Amino acid sequence: MNHLKLPDGLRLLKVLAGVTLGACMSAEASQFTATIVDGEGHPLPDAVVVLVPVGGVKVALHPHEEIVDQIDREFVPHVKAILVGSTVRFPNQDNIRHHVYSFSVAKNFELPLYKGTQAAPVLFDKAGVVVLGCNIHDWMLGYIYVSESPYYGMSGDDGKIVIKDLPKGNYEARVWQPDMQATEESTARALTLESGDAVGDWQIALKKTAKLRRAPVGAGHSYQ
């Protein structure tokens, strides 16, 4: 019987980022289902799980054009996962202008004051986490996770992620979430897909964060 091969000590990161991996048998290894919870066991949204093929396996990358919107002076979605090589447009649906920027190592860019859809798309050609900000509205904060692998997914409010159409083989499975205490690298686990659908469960401890207070309604109108 084929099964998911796992390393010993599945709960070594119980405090920071615990993970258990199991397998459910089916006709072929075509799907990985993950459940992400916080330190108290509550479903954790905005968590990215990425499966990176190991052993020199090459996979085809098919980048897309993606969208991170700006609505009610917030980035929507708050977290966006994309494939390396993809471009992202930043339309501004507000009635004031925004000034989007990032100083992240994975992508350093700036879109000067604008509103509407006239800002040029941005190419994300390096894997990593990109933190977004607005030079006018300090509380606006967003994240783009640029995946090196096409096999990734992001959790919703139920903490669930389903990654489909996975070839058989060996992978490194990792988790990232913007408020996690642990590093993404510390969540890495070896994963072997042979036949049957695989499942994984991560428990992620969160750091305490203070959200910047929004400016009063009407602030920023001088930038229309």
What's the rounded mean pLDDT across residues 58-76? Answer: 95
Please state, in angstroms and rounded to a whole number, the distance separating the CA atoms of residues 204 and 143.
18
Query: 17-59+153-204 has which fold?
Result: Immunoglobulin-like (2.60.40)
Does residue 161 surpass a pLDDT of 50? yes
Does residue 149 surpass a pLDDT of 70? yes
Does residue 44 surpass a pLDDT of 50? yes
Instruction: Note whether 153 and 48 are within 8 A (CB).
Output: yes
121 confidence band (pLDDT: 50, 70, 90): very high
Whole-model pTM? Answer: 0.83
pLDDT at 118: 82
Decide whether 17-59+153-204 matches 65-147 in CATH topology.
yes
Q: Which of 186, 201, 150, 147 is nearest to 4 (CA)?
A: 201
5 confidence band (pLDDT: 50, 70, 90): very low
Domain 65-147, CATH number (from 3.40.50.720, 3.30.360.10, 3.90.1150.10, 2.60.40.420): 2.60.40.420
Domain boundary assignment for the chain: 17-59+153-204, 65-147
Please state, in angstroms and rounded to a whole number, the distance separating the CA atoms of residues 143 and 141.
7
Does residue 216 surpass a pLDDT of 90? no
Does residue 159 surpass a pLDDT of 60? yes
Tens-place pLDDT, residues 88-109: 999 999 999 999 999 999 999 9
pLDDT at 217: 52
Q: Which residue has the higher pLDDT, 18 or 30?
A: 30
Element (H, E) at 141: strand 141-147
| CA torsion through residues 34, 35, 37, 41, sign | negative
Q: How far is CA 148 from CA 21, 160, 222, in A?
A: 22, 21, 41
Q: Is 90 helix (H, G, I), strand (E, B) or coil?
A: coil
Tens-place pLDDT, residues 170-214: 999 999 999 999 999 999 999 998 877 899 999 999 998 766 666
What's the rounded mean pLDDT across residues 6-35? Answer: 50
